Amino acid sequence: MSDTTLTIRRCALGDWRELRAIRLEALADTPEAYGSTFWECSQWSDEQWMYAATNRLFYLAERDGAVVGMVSGGQNDSRPGTRWLYGMYVTPRARGTETASNLVETVCHWARDEGVDELYLHVTLVVARARAFYERVGFRPTGETFTMDRDPSLTLATLVRSLD
């Protein structure tokens, strides 16, 4: 699959249905990777999805008119001044392409524009392919690990990438 037709755009109000579809796909595909659950998000109203599409930082990756990935970013209230990559997903048919790397770079550009020189994320240790990917694109472990709030059997590691 070629990335020549890949576009990444910031989610807008008109994208709420696509955001819902790709987010629910992500939660069904790899439930242990996210702080939210499929059941929880499947109960959201259309208005809640519209709010997420317009008031949270989501980017959608699209190829040939179909959404093939998403990523979100934001601040972390418990760590003022930092910027974070949250909830990235690439649909199986687009894995092995540059889609994931391009989504990461999009959030890195956003974080730089926010005036920070590092981007953080949490990754679930049981999803080895995700951690390996993040390390390939420049994230390094901080040494911090902790249990996931919604499932204490899952351990998260904090990674950081320099944006210099």
- The conformational region for residue 95 under phi > 0 = left, psi -120 to 50 = alpha, else beta, is beta
Q: How confident is the model at residue 4 (pLDDT cuts 50, 70, 90)?
A: low
Across-strand partners of 160? 120, 140
Q: 27-82: per-residue pLDDT in tens?
A: 999 999 999 999 999 999 999 999 999 999 999 999 999 999 999 999 998 999 99
What tokens does 102 get? Answer: 């391009």
- AA identity, residue 77: D
Q: Could you read off the pLDDT of 119-145 as tens digits, one per residue? A: 999 999 999 999 999 999 999 999 999
What's the pLDDT score for residue 164?
A: 86
Q: Are 104 and 88 in contact (CB under 8 A)?
A: yes
Name the class of domain 6-116. alpha beta
Q: Give yes or no for a contact between 32 and 154, defined as CB atoms under 8 angstroms apart.
A: yes
Give the Å distances, CA to CA, from 110 to 10, 84, 118.
10, 10, 11
What is the reported pLDDT for 14?
96
**For residue 61, what is the DSSP state?**
E
